[in-house]
């Protein structure tokens, strides 16, 4: 199951990446000072063997090893080495790509404007990636957040770490016909109100919520839980329900309340005021937020430094109407 998708991936990568290590103008690629061997480590001590000849140039094992190291990440390299026959197929594709690149040069394709531009863009991508890789540790260091910064942010932004006021309440819903779009379930308004009043009376007489909710409630979200909703922020339910849980006496089933869904018999169990969450509980949340901010600031500062180092000046786009912008200043060299 693994081989087919892997080989498909290899083909895509090989086609896109091989030119980066292809021999230039008939010369064999230079062997790196130290290559990461893709083959069996036991063979790593052998001579850097010639694996192919291309005209007057030679292609060595180290060239192929460098290709594998550059093109594939560590996990992919492990998969390549662990799957019988895949490394040989990668090598064949690599050599085929070198042959095709050499033939393309012989045919003059490397002199075409589009090809030159693609090579230029590939070089830009490779160099930009190399600079980003070289700079990542420095950027990470600039984005580090210490405990003092975390506590300072917490102390200055208490309002961001307040839990919302909420409530615990039980309810039984008696649905009114037509209250649910596309459904004919429910009673008439008069019948639903009378049934809700009956439910309220039974609750007041001491019958368990668990039993009555299961027997009467048309709310599938709570009927099997004794009608209970816990830690619900105000404003989550319809206005009539929300108003009732704000005002109703605690611990007693109130008079039926009508909403767009029907009639509710509600008993407010608890009202929970807004509360400042402890620093230790939100510390990592603050760290992630500040780290992201500092990383973005570090990235912008890094790009400003790069622009200054190479004399980059962006020319604003000319407006469609009105005066033309002043010429951009010449970059210092």
pLDDT in tens, 165-189: 999 999 999 999 887 765 667 799 9
Total domains in the fold of the chain: 2
Question: Do 181 and 100 belong to one domain?
Answer: no
* Confidence label for 26 from pLDDT (cuts 50, 70 and 90): very low
| Mean pLDDT value across residues 97-120 | 96
* Confidence label for 263 from pLDDT (cuts 50, 70 and 90): very high
Distances from the Cα of 43 to the Cα of 46, 48, 95, 96, 121, angstroms:
6, 10, 21, 24, 37
**Residue 200 phi, psi dihedral angles, 5° rounding:** -60, -45
| Mean pLDDT value across residues 156-172 | 95
**Is residue 248 in some structural domain?**
yes
**Is residue 44 in some structural domain?**
yes
**Is residue 112 in some structural domain?**
no
Question: Do 97 and 178 belong to one domain?
Answer: no
Question: Do 167 and 264 belong to one domain?
Answer: yes
pLDDT at residue 99 greater than cutoff 90: yes
Residue 60 in tokens: 């060595």
Domain with 192, as residue range(s), is 163-272
The CATH number of the domain holding residue 219 is 3.10.50.40
pLDDT at residue 13 greater than cutoff 60: no
**Is residue 286 in some structural domain?**
no
Question: Do 174 and 238 belong to one domain?
Answer: yes
Question: Do 92 and 179 belong to one domain?
Answer: no
Answer with the one of 272, 296, 328 that is the final residue of a domain. Answer: 272
**Is residue 41 in some structural domain?**
yes
Answer with the one of 225, 250, 272 that is the final residue of a domain. Answer: 272
**Percent of the chain beyond pLDDT 90?**
77
Question: Do 98 and 185 belong to one domain?
Answer: no
| Mean pLDDT value across residues 154-160 | 96
Q: Which of 261-270, 271-280, 314-323 has the lowest mean pLDDT?
A: 314-323
pLDDT at res. 330: 60
Question: Do 174 and 91 belong to one domain?
Answer: no
What is the dihedral sign for C-alpha 178, 180, 183, 185? negative
* Confidence label for 318 from pLDDT (cuts 50, 70 and 90): confident
| Mean pLDDT value across residues 20-48 | 44
* Confidence label for 11 from pLDDT (cuts 50, 70 and 90): very low
| Mean pLDDT value across residues 299-308 | 96
pLDDT at res. 159: 93
pLDDT at res. 333: 44
* Confidence label for 9 from pLDDT (cuts 50, 70 and 90): very low
Answer with the one of 233, 254, 272 that is the final residue of a domain. Answer: 272
**Is residue 171 in some structural domain?**
yes
Cα-atom radius of gyration of the chain, to the nearest Å? 35
Tell me the pLDDT of the chain averaged across its residues: 86
Question: Do 176 and 256 belong to one domain?
Answer: yes
Q: Which of 52-61, 137-146, 182-191 has the lowest mean pLDDT?
A: 182-191
**Is residue 204 in some structural domain?**
yes
**H/E/C letters for each residue in the chain?**
CCHHHHHHHHHHHHHHHHHHHCCECCECCCCCCCCCCCCCHHHCCCCCCEEEEECCEEEEHHHHHHHHHHHCCHHHHHHHHHCCCHHHHHHHHHHHHHHHHHHHHHCCHHHCHHHHHHHHHHHHHHHHHHHHHHHHHHHHHHCCCCHHHHHHHHHHCHHHHECCCEEEEEEEEEEECCCCCCCCCCECHHHHHHHHHHHHHHHHCCCCHHHHHHHHCCCCCCHHHCCEEEEEECCCCCHHHHHHHHHCCECCCCCCEEECCEEEEEEEEEEECCCECCHHHHHHHHHHHHHHHHHHHHHHHHHHHHHHHHCCCCCCCCCCCCCCCCCCCCCCC
**Is residue 124 in some structural domain?**
no
* Confidence label for 295 from pLDDT (cuts 50, 70 and 90): very high
pLDDT at residue 208 greater than cutoff 50: yes
| Mean pLDDT value across residues 311-320 | 90
């Amino acid at each position: 199951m693994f081989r087919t998708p892997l080989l498909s991936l290899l083909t895509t990568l090989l086609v896109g990446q091989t030119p980066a290590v292809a021999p230039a103008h008939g010369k064999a690629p230079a062997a790196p000072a130290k290559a990461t061997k893709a083959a069996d480590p036991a063979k790593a001590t052998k001579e850097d063997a010639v694996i192919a000849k291309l005209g007057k140039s030679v292609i060595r094992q180290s060239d192929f090893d460098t290709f594998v190291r550059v093109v594939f990440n560590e996990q992919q390299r492990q998969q390549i080495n662990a799957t019988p026959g895949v490394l040989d197929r990668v090598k064949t594709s690599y050599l085929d790509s070198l042959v095709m690149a050499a033939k393309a040069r012989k045919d003059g394709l490397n002199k075409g404007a589009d090809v030159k531009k693609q090579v230029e863009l590939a070089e830009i991508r490779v160099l930009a990636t190399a600079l980003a890789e070289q700079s990542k540790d420095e950027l990470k260091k600039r984005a580090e957040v210490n405990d003092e910064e975390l506590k300072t942010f917490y102390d200055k932004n208490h309002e961001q770490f307040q839990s919302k006021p909420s409530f615990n309440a039980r309810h039984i819903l008696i649905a009114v016909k037509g209250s649910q779009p596309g459904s004919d379930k429910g009673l008439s308004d008069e019948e639903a109100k009378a049934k809700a009043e009956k439910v309220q009376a039974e609750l007041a007489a001491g019958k368990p919520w668990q039993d009555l909710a299961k027997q009467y409630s048309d709310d599938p979200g709570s009927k099997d839980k004794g009608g209970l909703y816990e830690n619900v922020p105000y404003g989550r339910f319809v206005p009539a329900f929300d108003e009732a849980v704000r005002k109703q006496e605690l611990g007693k089933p109130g008079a039926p309340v009508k909403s767009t869904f029907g009639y509710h018999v509600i008993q407010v169990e608890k009202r929970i005021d807004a509360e400042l969450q402890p620093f230790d509980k939100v510390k990592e949340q603050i760290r992630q937020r500040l780290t992201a901010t500092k990383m973005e600031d570090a990235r912008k500062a890094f790009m400003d430094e790069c622009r200054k180092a190479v004399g980059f000046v962006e020319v604003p786009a000319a407006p469609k109407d009105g005066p033309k912008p002043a010429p951009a200043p010449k970059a210092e060299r």
